[in-house]
Amino acid sequence: MQVILIKDVDNLGSAHEMVEVRPGYARNYLIPQKYAIEASGSNAKVMEERRKQLQKKEDKLMAEVANVTAVLKASPVKVGAKIGISGKIFGSVTSIQIARAIREQKGYEIDRRRITILDDVKEAGLHKAGIDFGKDNNVEIEFEVVGE
């Protein structure tokens, strides 16, 4: 029996995919649990239209991510920290400070959990951080630690 998956099912397939399963598995588990619908002509057309809409939405999102990436890579973000006489900072720079600096200087709201600092930041100067936008879109940006 052919069914169209509504949600991702382990060891079977991902959402909006047509798969062949045994009739009992489809009738007794997949369809009642709302994991799949029967692959009739009208259901296939509806799922194909939904797939096209999702693709358009994803393309638009990827274009926006590319735009944000270009703005972030254009110039380093300046992060303020208390710096001693020898050039070392008191404490260290965190992802929260970087997210705040991006919001204030570039105008983009990026969740701090998506930012990873690639090395320990203990002194003033240029450093690198990675931002994960999801779906294998990882961007490496530069930030500069300056005295407050």
Under a CB-based contact definition with an 8 Å cutoff, are residues 86 and 116 in contact?
Answer: no
* Residue 51, pLDDT score: 85
The structural domains of the chain, ordered by start, are 2-64 (3.40.5.10), 69-147 (3.10.430.100)
Spell out, as residue ranges, where the chain has pLDDT lower than 50: none
pTM of the predicted model over 0.75: no
Report pLDDT digits (tens) over 4-40: 998 999 999 888 888 999 999 999 999 999 999 998 8
* Residue 68, pLDDT score: 87
* Residue 25, pLDDT score: 93
* Residue 66, pLDDT score: 87
User: Phi first, then psi: what are they for 98, rounded to 5°?
Assistant: -65, -45
* CA–CA gap between residue 132 and residue 19 (Å, rounded): 32
